[in-house]
Each structure stands twice: as structure tokens, then as C-alpha cells.
Homo-oligomer: A and B are copies of this chain.
Amino acid sequence: MILLDYRDKRPIYEQVVEKLEHLIVSGALEENTKMPSVRSLGMELVVNPNTIQRAYTQLEQKGYLYTVAGRGSFVAPESEWRDGKKEKMLEEWHLATRKAKEAGLTEDVLTSELHRIYGEGTK
């Protein structure tokens, strides 16, 4: 389900958050799907359940999961996170674009790259 990179200097729970967020946004995990329990996912990744707990808590705060005590955690419906996600991504893209501009990259180059990226297929 997830592959951890122990060489990565970021905390483990952050990696877990990122990977799961990706799986949810990409639609690989459908709405209301039951997530593995903190204990089982902890076993699978050979990581303490508390670490998974932390990741789940963050995902819940971000609106990607909802939790039913005693039953488990579930994938939240898209409406919960879609807007915020787009907004945040656009902001990050802006920043990257400004930095690219400052580094001397021209509008032409970026426009053609943009076209290339969107032509790559739906993936």
C-alpha cells in the first residue's frame, strides 16, 4: 500500500500523510473506503502505531479522512477537501513559477513545457 523511504529526512508520519493524501486525491481510494487500522498499518510498515495515529490525525484535520471511534477511519468524500486542495496547489505553483522566472527561464519555455505536461495523457 505504501513504501517508506528511510533515507528521507522528513518525519515518517509526514511521509505517510503525503502518500495517503496522494492515493485519496488521485481517486485510488474511493470515498468511505475503510482505512487499515492504525495497528495493522503500523505492523505493515514496521512502525509504531502511534506514528500512524499521528498521520491519521493530520489527514483528518486536513479533511481527507473521518473517524468513527471503535469502528475505524474512513476516506472522506471529495467535497470535503477539493476546494482547499486546488487553492493550495495554485499558490505553490505560483511560487515555483516566480522562482523560475527569477532564475531566468522565459515565458516561452514554460508555456511549451506546460503544454507538454498536459499532453502526457490523463495519468
Q: Which residues of A contact B (CB under 8 A)?
A: 6-7, 9, 11, 22, 25-26, 61, 66-69, 71, 74, 76, 82, 85-86, 88-90, 92-105, 107, 109-111, 113-115, 117-118
- Which 6 A/B pairs are nearest by Cβ-Cβ distance? A96-B96, A89-B103, A107-B118, A7-B66, A93-B100, A89-B100
Cα–Cα distance between A104 and B94 once the two chains are bound (Å): 15
A118, B101: Cβ atoms under 8 Å?
yes
How many copies of this protein are present in the complex? Answer: 4
Could you tell me the dominant secondary structure of chain A's interface residues?
helix
Q: Which residues of B contact A93 (CB under 8 A)?
A: 96-97, 99-100, 105, 110, 113
State whether B90 touches A100 (Cβ < 8 A): yes
